[in-house]
Amino acid sequence: MNDYQTTIDNIQTALNISDSTPVEALQEYSERYAQACQEVNHRLTDCGKFLRTGNIGEALRLANTTPHLLDLCNILDFPERQEWDGICRSYHLSVAPRLMMSVIEQLNHAYDEVSPLEPLLKKHRRLALAHAPIRERLAILYQLEYKEPQNLIWSETIPTFEQKRIEEIQSLFLQYQSEKNSRGNIMELLRELETTPWRNQPQALIQKVKKWLGSYAHLHYSGQFQELGRQMEAARQTGNRETARSLLAKWRQLLQESKIQISSISEEAQAQERQITQWLKAETVKGNQYQAFQKKAVELKEALKKQDIHQDTLKELYQELTNLGIDSEQTVSDDLKFIYQQKLHQLRKKQLQFFCLIGGGLVLLIILAGITAYLLNK
């Protein structure tokens, strides 16, 4: 880079004192400048090839090689270039080729685009140099392809890495099958198989892993489901709702943890689970009805204490309580029934006394009216 800058400095000095600069010196400067432009254009040509194929990362890697390509372009593209070319032609000296400005513009645009990619590119290169696991390198390649879809190098590289990773998973699957307590490792393999954005998802391998996990779950969990089923049935027979709910929660938790298909559980255990679920639902409804009955009974008791309660209101409350008792399979207690009947009898007696009093008053009024009329006629 220093040689390039020295050449440009000499040319600019010669332009300022062109009349006193020896032709031999001008010839030397022209040859050096032409050679420098050829060297830079050669590097620009290589970068342009990668840019045309979408391999921006490789193009920039070449451009960043010391000395930095765009820095050289800035030095060689000096303001007096046109004036210098004119002097070279007049003295029949070497005229340097024009710099490939279109490639320079593409490189500048590429730098603007690739700035967010730089951390990923660095990580990609670091993992490659460290011979990191294929799974880690593949994850970075997916991110690079997503952020730089026009770069064909990623789409061409990913299938090779995918095939290597699938082969690794197959090998690990065989290894884990022969080891104890390896279900967690195999489930992790299945998660990777199902969540990785493969070009061609390895369905055969996925089904093989799922089949193994299903057989494992059936072998290790079917006995636990049967035992829970027997315990739930015993709780139902004794009417122990709290125990039944606790056992049902354990059943569902075990179903979630084991990842076992419900169809893999015995028909007897499935029937017990359905039966206990239906029974608990019915018991919940019955409990709500019982609470409604008790609430209405309290309401009736409070009404029986009131002196000014109307007997129609009392009859309506008693009928509602009776209907709730039918729904909840409960009956009105004999004590409450007796108090109700006594209260009703009192209200009827009071009503009858009231009517008698009114009737007596009316008879007395009629008699008084008759006596008054008789006396007036006399």
In a domain, 357, yes or no: yes
Q: What is the pLDDT of residue 287?
A: 65
Residues 120 and 141: their CA atoms lie apart, in Å, by 9
3-state secondary structure of 34: helix
In a domain, 313, yes or no: no
Q: Please identify, among 259, 282, 305, the residue that sits at the C-terminal boundary of a domain.
A: 282
Q: What is the pLDDT of residue 99?
A: 93
| Angle between helical axes of 23-52 and 69-76 (0-180°, round to 10) | 140
- Is there a single domain that holds both residue 170 and residue 243? no
- Is there a single domain that holds both residue 36 and residue 79? yes
In a domain, 207, yes or no: no
Q: Please identify, among 254, 282, 310, the residue that sits at the C-terminal boundary of a domain.
A: 282
Over the stretch 144-153, which tens digit does the pLDDT of each residue have? Answer: 888 878 778 8
Average pLDDT for the chain: 81
In a domain, 378, yes or no: yes
- Is there a single domain that holds both residue 181 and residue 275? no
* Reported confidence tier of residue 368, pLDDT bands at 50, 70, 90: confident
**pLDDT of 139 strictly over 90:** yes
Over the stretch 273-332, which tens digit does the pLDDT of each residue have? Answer: 677 777 667 666 666 776 777 787 787 778 777 777 777 787 787 777 777 666 556 777
Residues 168 and 189: their CA atoms lie apart, in Å, by 10
- 38 burial type by CB count under 10 A (0-12 exposed, 13-18 middle, 19+ buried): exposed
| Domain total of the chain | 4
**pLDDT of 45 strictly over 90:** yes
In a domain, 269, yes or no: yes
Over the stretch 211-252, which tens digit does the pLDDT of each residue have? Answer: 888 777 767 766 776 777 778 778 777 777 788 778 777 767
In a domain, 293, yes or no: no
Model-wide pTM > 0.75: no
In a domain, 291, yes or no: no
- Is there a single domain that holds both residue 263 and residue 197? no
Residues 292 and 336: their CA atoms lie apart, in Å, by 17
- Is there a single domain that holds both residue 60 and residue 102? yes
The residue range of the domain holding 147 is 133-201
